[in-house]
């Protein structure tokens, strides 16, 4: 029998024997949104970059995402080798992701019809609802299915409790997906532990981290201008309580002659109306640091590297973090990171080599680690250089795509061994 692993890892000739037809399913996170920058989330960027990197390796990728606008064409070519398919499932309008579950049956039935006529070699679903739809769709067709969760309902419920807006069936469905697919691709070791608690054994799981664009995020290039303070800290990401901006503000009160720039949230002209911004501003006033905390609002992705390069230290104090892409972006730009010791941070940040890991929700510990780095410019420089090397070695999209491909090949080889079909 021919080995998929042998043929795929060494032969990439477009439609030749090394080329796979890969279906990525991303029900709420379109890779087209990643091109817009401001409103894109981590999953949008991940799916877009993974699809592109797989195409660079010679594969043909179709991303299936829900149609949320009646004017969208049925199919859009994202780049050579990557096509986006807009799946009709529910009204063609934006719907919050936590309200999409009732439409996953229509999503699955449409995928089954499409794949029956032109089956891919394998399916890779992203997020639990995509996994649910894909699992239903491949059932009648016998297609191999791999799944990436991006976030787990058990973790979200543990930390957010009553504030968790996920459908109550989420955890049960996530377990069904993990047991029903051929392989789970987890993004970090902490996720493997969480999956085992759900009853999904580790021998069904491969670890492939998220990636970062090392050509966009680089130490070279312009840096954002400083204000009047000696040191600058930066926190980047969605403005939601779990990201821990309140912890950064409390730590700032212990760090003299230092400013904090908070990047993310609504556009700058709508910051005053945002409840989380108002909450954080009130915390800053009570801490006596309101004049040293600056909110930029959401910014296009192309502006982020300059903001990172303009910081002395990048803060990532989330209460929990399924993976956390910001530390990679900061490290790729040669900046030291101080982050909470949770989730994916435990894998990506090497303490003390590329930054520091501190307990979550602990402003004093955060301030101590930041103060130590601010007092020693040679340590900041060494951390930044080590972070860049670490990203280039482990987290470039070429490496991530190769590891993802290896997981695909393992599943295809196993299927071939069982069926005897090449």
pLDDT, tens digit, 9 for 90 and up, residues 158-185: 988 888 889 999 999 999 999 999 999 9
Coil, helix or strand at residue 232? strand
Q: Kindly state whether residue 218 falls inside one of the protein's structural domains.
A: no
Q: Which residue has the tokens 């049925």?
A: 74
Q: What is the CATH number of the domain that holds 372?
A: 3.40.50.2000
Number of domains in the chain: 2
The candidate with the shortest Cα–Cα distance to 23, out of 56, 53, 64, 59, is 64
**Residue 42's pLDDT is what?**
81
The candidate with the shortest Cα–Cα distance to 387, out of 354, 348, 343, is 354
Confidence label for 13 from pLDDT (cuts 50, 70 and 90): very low
Per DSSP, the residues of 192-226 read: HHHHHHTT--GGGEEE----B-TTTS-SSS--PPP
**Residue 34's pLDDT is what?**
54
Q: Tell me, yes or no, whether 53 and 179 share the same domain.
A: yes
Q: Tell me, yes or no, whether 163 and 48 share the same domain.
A: yes
Mean pLDDT for 197-223 is 97
Q: Tell me, yes or no, whether 376 and 404 share the same domain.
A: no
Cα distances from 79 to residues 84, 351, 396, in angstroms, run 10, 38, 19
Q: Tell me, yes or no, whether 275 and 331 share the same domain.
A: yes
Cα 93 to the center of its chain, rounded Å: 24
Q: Which residue has the tokens 């067709």?
A: 141
Confidence label for 416 from pLDDT (cuts 50, 70 and 90): confident
b or e along 79-104 (b: 16 or more beta carbons within 10 Å of the residue's beta carbon)?
eebbbbbbbebbeeeebebeebbebb
**Residue 227's pLDDT is what?**
77
Residue 171 has a CB neighbour count (10 Å cut-off) of 17
Q: Kindly state whether residue 216 falls inside one of the protein's structural domains.
A: no
**401 vs 404: CA distance, rounded Å:** 5
| Dihedral of the alpha carbons of 397, 205, 66, 157, in degrees to the nearest 10 | -110
Q: Tell me, yes or no, whether 268 and 126 share the same domain.
A: no
Q: Kindly state whether residue 73 falls inside one of the protein's structural domains.
A: yes
Q: Which residue has the tokens 């239903």?
A: 136
**Residue 165's pLDDT is what?**
87
Q: Kindly state whether residue 330 falls inside one of the protein's structural domains.
A: yes
pLDDT, tens digit, 9 for 90 and up, residues 139-153: 999 999 999 999 999
pLDDT at 305 over 70: yes
Domain that holds residue 333: 231-394
pLDDT, tens digit, 9 for 90 and up, residues 45-73: 899 999 999 999 999 999 999 999 999 99
**Residue 48's pLDDT is what?**
95
Q: Which residue has the higher pLDDT, 417 or 39?
A: 417
The end-to-end CA distance of the chain, in Å, is: 7
Q: Kindly state whether residue 220 falls inside one of the protein's structural domains.
A: no
**139 vs 347: CA distance, rounded Å:** 35
Mean pLDDT for 311-335 is 96
**51 vs 340: CA distance, rounded Å:** 30
Q: What is the DSSP letter of 337?
A: E
Q: Tell me, yes or no, whether 134 and 276 share the same domain.
A: no
pLDDT, tens digit, 9 for 90 and up, residues 117-144: 999 999 999 999 999 999 999 999 999 9
Q: Tell me, yes or no, whether 317 and 402 share the same domain.
A: no
Q: Tell me, yes or no, whether 111 and 260 share the same domain.
A: no
To the nearest whole percent, how much of the chain has pLDDT over 70? 94
Strands 82-87 and 75-79, bridge-based pairing:
antiparallel
Q: Kindly state whether residue 217 falls inside one of the protein's structural domains.
A: no
**Residue 17's pLDDT is what?**
38
**Residue 183's pLDDT is what?**
98
Q: Tell me, yes or no, whether 204 and 304 share the same domain.
A: no
Q: Tell me, yes or no, whether 128 and 240 share the same domain.
A: no
Q: Kindly state whether residue 224 falls inside one of the protein's structural domains.
A: no
Q: Kindly state whether residue 223 falls inside one of the protein's structural domains.
A: no
Q: Tell me, yes or no, whether 258 and 403 share the same domain.
A: no
**Residue 100's pLDDT is what?**
96
CB-based contact 317:360 (threshold 8 Å): yes
pLDDT at 421 over 70: no
In sequence order, which residues have a C-beta less than 8 Å from that of residue 80 and are 6 or more positions away?
55
**Residue 176's pLDDT is what?**
98
- Residue 261 token pair: 């720039």
Per the prediction, the chain carries an average pLDDT of: 92
Query: Which phi and psi angles does 55 have, rounded to 5°?
Result: -65, -35
Q: Model's pTM, two decimal places?
A: 0.91
Mean pLDDT for 263-278 is 94
Q: Tell me, yes or no, whether 169 and 25 share the same domain.
A: yes
């Amino acid at each position: 029998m021919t080995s998929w692993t042998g043929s795929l890892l060494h032969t990439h000739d477009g439609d030749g024997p090394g080329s796979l037809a890969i279906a990525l399913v991303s029900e709420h996170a379109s890779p087209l949104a990643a091109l817009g920058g401001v409103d894109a989330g981590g999953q949008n960027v991940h799916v877009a970059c993974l699809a592109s990197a797989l195409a660079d390796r010679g594969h043909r990728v179709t991303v299936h995402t829900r149609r949320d606008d009646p004017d969208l064409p049925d199919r859009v070519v994202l780049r050579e080798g990557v096509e986006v398919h807009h799946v009709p499932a529910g009204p063609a309008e934006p719907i919050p992701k936590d309200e999409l579950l009732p439409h996953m049956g229509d999503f699955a039935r449409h995928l089954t019809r499409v794949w029956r006529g032109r089956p891919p070699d394998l399916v890779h679903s992203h997020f639990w609802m995509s996994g649910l739809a894909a699992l239903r769709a491949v059932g009648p067709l016998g297609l191999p299915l791999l799944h990436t969760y991006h976030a787990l309902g058990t973790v979200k419920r543990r930390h957010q409790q009553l504030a968790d807006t996920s459908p109550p069936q989420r955890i049960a469905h996530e377990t069904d997906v993990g047991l029903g697919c051929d392989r789970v691709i987890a993004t970090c070791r902490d996720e493997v532990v969480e999956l085992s608690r759900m009853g999904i054994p580790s021998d069904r799981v491969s670890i492939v981290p998220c990636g970062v664009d090392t050509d966009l995020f680089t130490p070279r290039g312009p840096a954002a201008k400083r204000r009047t303070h000696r040191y600058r800290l930066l926190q980047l990401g969605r403005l939601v309580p779990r990201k821990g901006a309140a912890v950064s503000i409390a730590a700032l009160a212990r760090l003299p002659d230092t400013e904090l720039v908070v990047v993310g949230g609504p556009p700058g002209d709508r910051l005053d109306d945002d409840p989380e911004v108002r909450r954080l501003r009130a915390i800053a006033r009570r801490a006596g640091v309101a004049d040293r905390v600056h909110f930029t609002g959401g910014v296009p992705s192309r502006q982020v590297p300059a903001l990172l390069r303009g910081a002395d230290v990048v803060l990532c104090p989330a209460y929990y973090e399924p993976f956390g892409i910001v530390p990679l972006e900061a490290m790729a730009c040669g900046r030291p990171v101080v982050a909470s010791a949770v989730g994916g941070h435990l894998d990506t940040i090497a303490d003390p080599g590329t930054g520091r890991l501190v307990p979550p929700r602990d402003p004093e510990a955060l301030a101590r680690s930041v103060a130590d780095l601010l007092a020693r410019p040679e340590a900041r420089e060494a951390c930044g250089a080590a972070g860049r090397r670490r990203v280039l070695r482990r987290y470039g999209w070429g490496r991530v795509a190769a590891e993802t491909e290896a997981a695909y090949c393992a599943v295809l080889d196993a299927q071939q061994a069982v069926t005897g079909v090449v």
